[in-house]
């Protein structure tokens, strides 16, 4: 989950090299580029009609998928602005404070909501990648903060730390693999990450890890509570504010979280995004401080 990259499910039949090759190969296989001279006129007409029907079916399917993707973006508060997808680096308004959100796919899900709610108040960015576990964060945090000035950094690590993987990187039960980052190592990693983030001078906010339900691959239900306790201990020690996202969605996981899955419905992401935006908004610098 989230660790492999591909073409991202592109449905543009004319704008993607991979799909252009697929289209050419598919149509060739259907005979669209290979007329059959040995068949009778009626047979050629029938075959042509079948091929056209197949192509229309493919195009309708692609268009349907594209509409579904658009609906999903709309549900998350993403409009038609080409800068809206959470991993795309948006054009900044130099008059506004800068906010950086760091986290896994959960943060990717609520970033569009935060961006929308803070429109006109802050530039809201997320790295163009899933930030994964805390060990990965230690190795990449310098890259993510870059050379920009940040006013608020809202961050989380946890769900990828507590998962169990086998030697092939596949999700497994605890008896068949190892936890990616044990709690003590998790705390040590958080201290390193916080130290680096504090060097930016930004206001830091740590978001607690959201609930792990039963049956979610490679994770044990409730493990996030131990990791949150450990993380809050580090944040208190280092003077970092905490936003309890776990508390926000925990009472309603049955309706806002996907079944046997750590991810959320559009309502869940809206709730998370609204909480994050509210917390970030309170910590934005006043006019003239930027």
Give the CATH number of the domain where residue 243 resides.
3.40.50.1110
Last residue of a domain, one of 74, 90, 118: 74
Residues 69 and 96 in one domain: no
The alpha-helical segments, DSSP class H, found in 123-162 are: 134-145
Q: Are residues 43 and 139 in the same domain?
A: no
User: What is the CB neighbour count within 10 angstroms for residue 77?
Assistant: 20
Q: Kindly state whether residues 100 and 189 are assigned to the same domain.
A: yes
Higher pLDDT, 33 or 58: 58
Domain boundary among 28, 48, 74: 74
CA neighbor of 112 nearest in space, from 256, 270, 219: 270
Question: Same domain, yes or no, for 31 and 144?
Answer: no
Say what the pLDDT of residue 72 is: 40
**122 vs 27, higher pLDDT:** 122
Say which residue, 95 or 55, is predicted with more confidence: 95
Q: Is residue 290 part of a domain?
A: no
- For residue 60, name the pLDDT band (cuts at 50, 70, 90): low
pLDDT of residue 163: 98
Last residue of a domain, one of 53, 74, 95: 74
Instruction: Give the contacts of 1 (CB within 8 A, at least 6 positions apart).
Output: 105, 171, 217
The DSSP code for 250 is G
Position 6 in a domain? no
Are 119 and 57 within one domain? no
Q: Which whole number is the average pLDDT over 213-223?
A: 96
Do both 36 and 93 map to the same domain? no
pLDDT at 97 over 80: yes
Radius of gyration (C-alpha) of the chain in whole angstroms: 23
Looking at the structure, tell me whether residues 213 and 247 fall in a common domain.
yes
Q: What's the pLDDT score for residue 143?
A: 97
CA–CA distance, 249 with 209 (Å, rounded to integer): 11
The residue among 94 and 14 whose pLDDT is bigger is 94
* b/e code 184-216 from CB counts within 10 Å (16+ = b): eebbbbbeebbeebeebebbbbbbbbbbbbeeb
Over range 201-216, report the average pLDDT: 97
pLDDT surpassing 80 at residue 175: yes
Residue 276 pLDDT exceeds 60: yes
User: Residue 206: beta bridge partners?
Assistant: 155, 242
Predicted pLDDT at 259: 96
Of 7-16, 93-102, 200-209, 211-220, the range with the lowest mean pLDDT is: 7-16
Which pLDDT value is given to residue 280?
Answer: 98
Mean pLDDT score, 122-140: 97
pLDDT band per the 50, 70, 90 thresholds, residue 16: very low
Q: Which whole number is the average pLDDT over 76-102?
A: 72
Note whether residue 163 is domain-resident: yes
Domain interval for residue 38: 17-74
pLDDT at 119 over 80: yes
Q: Say whether both 89 and 156 belong to one domain.
A: yes
* Residues 28 and 137 occupy one common structural domain: no
The count of structural domains within the chain is 2
- Give the E-state strand segments of the chain in sequence order: 98-102, 123-125, 152-155, 164-165, 178-179, 203-207, 241-243
Q: Do 67 and 100 belong to one domain?
A: no
Q: What confidence tier does 56 reach under pLDDT thresholds 50, 70, 90? A: low
Judge if 121 and 180 occupy the same domain: yes
- Does residue 21 fall inside a structural domain? yes
Asked whether residue 96 falls in the same domain as residue 59, the answer is no
């Amino acid at each position: 989950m989230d660790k492999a990259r591909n073409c991202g499910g592109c449905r543009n039949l004319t704008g993607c090299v991979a799909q252009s090759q697929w289209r050419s190969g598919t149509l060739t296989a259907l005979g669209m580029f290979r007329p059959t001279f040995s068949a009778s006129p009626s047979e050629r007409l029938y075959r042509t009609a079948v091929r056209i029907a197949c192509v229309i079916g493919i195009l309708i399917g692609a268009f349907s998928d594209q509409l579904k993707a658009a609906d999903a973006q709309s549900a998350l508060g993403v409009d038609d602005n080409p800068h809206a997808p959470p991993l795309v680096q948006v054009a900044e308004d130099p008059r506004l404070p800068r906010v950086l959100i760091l986290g896994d796919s959960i943060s990717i899900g609520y970033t569009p909501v935060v961006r929308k709610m803070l429109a006109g108040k802050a530039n809201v960015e997320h790295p163009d990648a899933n930030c994964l576990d805390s060990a990965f964060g230690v190795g990449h945090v310098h890259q993510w903060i870059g050379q920009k000035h940040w006013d608020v950094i809202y961050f989380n690590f946890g769900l990828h730390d507590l998962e169990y993987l086998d030697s092939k990187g596949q999700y497994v039960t605890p008896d068949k693999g190892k936890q990616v980052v044990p709690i003590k190592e998790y705390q040590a990693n958080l201290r390193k990450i916080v130290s680096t983030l504090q060097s930016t001078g930004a206001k830091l906010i740590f978001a607690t890890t959201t609930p792990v339900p039963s049956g979610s691959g490679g994770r044990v239900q409730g493990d996030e509570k131990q990791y949150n306790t450990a993380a809050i201990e580090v944040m208190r020690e280092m003077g970092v504010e905490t936003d309890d996202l776990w508390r926000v969605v925990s009472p309603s996981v049955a309706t806002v979280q996907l079944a046997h899955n750590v991810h959320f419905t559009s309502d869940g992401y809206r709730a998370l995004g609204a909480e994050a935006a509210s917390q970030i908004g309170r910590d934005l610098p006043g006019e003239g401080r930027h």
